[in-house]
Amino acid sequence: MADQQVRSVRPVGPVRPVRPVHSAPEPTVTDPALVRRAVKAAALGNAMEWFDFGVYSYIAVTLGKVFFPSGNPTAQLLSTFGAFAAAFLVRPLGGMVFGPLGDRVGRQKVLALTMIMMAAGTFAIGLIPSYGAIGVGAPLLLLAARLVQGFSTGGEYAGASTFIAEYAPDKRRGFLGSWLEFGTLAGYIGGAGLVTLMTALLSDDALLSWGWRVPFLIAGPMGIIGLYLRMRLEETPAFAAEVEKAEAAQAARRKVPLREMVAGQWKALLLCVGLVLVFNVTDYMLLSYMPSYLTSELKYDETHGLLVVLGVMALMMIVQPFAGALTDRVGRRPVIAAGCAGFLVLSVPALLLIREGSLAAVALGMGALGLLLVCFTAAMPSALPALFPTRVRYGSLSIGFNVSVSLFGGTTPLVVTALIGATGNMMMPAYYMMAAAVIGGVAVWYMAESAGRPLPGSAPAA
């Protein structure tokens, strides 16, 4: 029998190197009960911020008499809103402190700290003696309390939206994030409604002597409840995974330079500023400026004007979760783009309806603007955190968000009032919203879609 020869077989064609197979990262699975607690805890902090906003705005005339008794009602009101506006000046500083701190030590710890500071600042206002009791010390203490509130608020929205986004499953991030702005609306309605109720029930003397303190003192128990909810939470899965990666690289808890949060993320920061600009210009225009526009510029009845705004906010609360769920199905970009297009096309017709003056026309015009605003309130809490990677998300978002709010959102009532005074054109609010919509539309054009996808730098979440 012939010997069998074993021949080597050469491969035909070029030899390709064998590449290691990288398995896709395993999805992070979170407990639904834990996700619900995270959403409640984050939304409550936003509700407290806007509870104070509603109280301060609606009781401004009384606060002017308590802290700035100049005898001139206009000077009193300007002084009161001056102290209110001072909080916006320190918001970017708060963002630069709390944002990087949240990326270093964790979201949960920083959100607990901002909750304590917000509650303490609001509660302290209710304890300040009047100008008649301690003189000039009273307005100085009011200013100090407002600065504490503004500083803490600088780390609140970015932290809360980051917290929910990092806990939420990828396919439900829009719906769960929308509850953050649901808390905003609930807080504003609660604060404004409480002041309206107390104004109706109490005499002017009672409101001036002690009644004005009650809404601010309520912040104490609210803060304790919010702190309890936040302290019960664990750190977000995305941040915990980032810490593990840093430990594996022997760089645990390494401080992220502020330069990396700004210069390293400049494109995302520009998009953030543009999106927050259209979001907050339209928000402050509708919820903060329009009551004054109805009364001061159109000589509309003050009580009816305030009730219309509260009714619009109640309508927005009803629609908010459904709009959030819609962003999960069709995407964040189409919903935000629809809001920008709506404000560009409908701002003038809506303001013409409001200027018509009848209750039905005012309600219809305000309602149309409110529904357009829901396009932003429903989509932004999930869209903004997705602009930045986990490593710098809290810090970069805090800086971009607060700079935009301070420069464009908080100044909206002042700028529009000045434009009307300079031009005599009562349609300036519509033109201002249209300009903001154009800027927002450009930002939407360049932003990437994030619906149903993992956050940058994070594993898929289910």
pTM for the full predicted model? 0.84
pLDDT score for 1: 46
Structure confidence at residue 48 (pLDDT): 81
Query: Tell me, what's the pLDDT at 25?
Result: 58
Tens digits of per-residue pLDDT, 301-355? 666 777 888 899 999 999 999 999 999 999 999 999 999 999 999 999 999 999 8
| Domains of the chain, residue spans | 30-255, 258-448
Q: What percent of the chain is modeled with pLDDT above 70?
A: 84
Q: Kindly report, residue by residue over 214-272, the tens digit of the pLDDT.
A: 988 988 888 888 888 788 777 777 777 777 776 666 544 456 666 666 666 889 999 99
User: What is the arithmetic mean of pLDDT over 377-406?
Assistant: 91
Question: What is the mean pLDDT of the segment spanning 14-39?
Answer: 62
Q: What is the rounded CA–CA span in Å between residue 172 and residue 332?
A: 12
Task: Indicate if 258-448 has the same CATH topology as 30-255.
Answer: yes
pLDDT digit string (tens) for 175-215?
Answer: 999 999 999 899 888 888 888 888 888 888 888 889 889 98
pLDDT of residue 231: 80
Mean pLDDT of 102-125: 86
pLDDT of residue 180: 92
Indicate the CATH number for domain 30-255: 1.20.1250.20
- pLDDT at residue 348 in the model: 96
Nearest to 152 by CA among 398, 380, 391: 398
Q: What's the pLDDT score for residue 235?
A: 75
- Phi-psi region at 135: left, alpha or beta (left = phi > 0; alpha = psi -120 to 50): left
Q: 258-448: which CATH architecture? A: Up-down Bundle (1.20)
The residue type of 449 is E
79 or 88, which is more confident: 88
Which amino acid is present at 75? A
